[in-house]
Amino acid sequence: MESQKIGIVGSGLIGRSWAMIFASAGYSVTIFDIEPSQVSNALKLIKSQLEELSESGMLRGTLSVEAQFALIKGSNSMEEALAGASFVQECVFEKLEVKQKVFSEMEQYVGDDAILSSSSSCIMPSQFTENLKRRNQCLISHPINPPYYAPLVEIIPAPWTDQSAIDRTRTIMESIGQVPVTLKKEVPGFAVNRIQYAIIAEVWRLVEGGVLSADDVDKVMSAGLGLRYAFLGPLEVMHLNAEGMQSYMERYTQSIQHVLGNFGPTPTFTGSGLERIIKEMDAKIPLDKLEERRQWRDTRLAALAKLKRDLERE
């Protein structure tokens, strides 16, 4: 169990999730938010979520709800929240000016060994760390929503990030049961959104081109490809679907190139195609049912995460 201190800056959805994940592995966590009521609200929400997770058998780690909650504190001072922290996870609004301001404040309150990590989904680390004194200690650890059940974390360094900060972040992420992948350099969209947007583009073309309905195109993932991808990535799927990768490429290169050559340009995501997709999605899940459906999603992701953990233990 860890005795290191973690600072969390920003106590919205993602800040609360990180706090719970770190505490589940025994780290002491202090949460700061610019809005004091957000901190007290976050502590209340975390307590009730830990209780619900325990009741449903989904609580992470070996510590009791009380022990995990006791590891999480709130503070209305960034200085106090970050004092002595070895790792700080920033979770404020996704706005460049806010990230720049918060990073320039955070670097004043940590020592030479601390890592300053951002949850940013799309802003590249060089954009808000370039002019900092401690820029070599900064990187992004981008989680996937909901982080409590989807353990992937993309680590994205800026060109000036120390290799030791990257290596230590990977070790910390593994110690809390997350699954880190490290980008060797920053690229727009990082890895997750580049791959996700490639899928969105083709799904859009198939619906816009009248090949599949919106409901059916989603089933291609949820009842087909997604089931495999819950356990293996596309490269391993290829390796297993022939006598290894070389044999797969000998068999299928021509047909892959033929199909890829048939892809249209990047959709504009406007006009009648957009209207049709919005209409179909609103009919399938009306806007006043979104919260219900999110809970449905989280219950299923939790069960899948548990299944994967149980299978790995076998």
CA distance 87 to 75: 16
Which of 117, 93, 95 is CA-nearest to residue 106? Answer: 117
192 belongs to the binding site for ligand NAI (CB under 6 A): no
35 belongs to the binding site for ligand NAI (CB under 6 A): yes
Residue in the shown chain whose Cβ atom is closest to ligand NAI = 12
Strands (E), the chain: 5-9, 28-32, 72-75, 87-90, 115-118, 138-143, 152-157, 179-182
Query: Quick one: 9 or 172, whose CB is closer to ligand NAI?
Result: 9
Over the window 36 to 55, marking each residue x when it contacts ligand NAI by CB under 6 A and - when it does not, the resulting string is --x-----------------
CA distance 206 to 200: 10
26 belongs to the binding site for ligand NAI (CB under 6 A): no
Segment interacting with ligand NAI (CB under 6 A) among 27-35, 166-174, 191-199, 241-249: 27-35
| # chain residues binding ligand NAI, by CB under 6 A | 23
Query: Quick one: 153 or 207, whose CB is closer to ligand NAI?
Result: 153
Query: Quick one: 115 or 207, whose CB is closer to ligand NAI?
Result: 115
CA distance 74 to 81: 8
Beta bridge partners of 136: none
Residues numbered 119-158 forming contacts with ligand NAI, rule: CB under 6 A: 119-121, 142-143, 145
- Could you give the C-alpha distances from 225 to 15, 136, 161, 220, 234, in angstroms and in order? 31, 40, 36, 6, 9
Amino acid letter, 68 = Q
Find the binder of ligand NAI among 2, 4, 34, 252 (CB under 6 A): 34
Find the binder of ligand NAI among 6, 8, 15, 87 (CB under 6 A): 15
Residues numbered 62-91 forming contacts with ligand NAI, rule: CB under 6 A: 91
CA distance 135 to 146: 28
Using CB under 6 A as the criterion, which residues of the chain lie in contact with ligand NAI when the complex forms?
A: 9-15, 33-35, 38, 91-94, 98, 102, 119-121, 142-143, 145
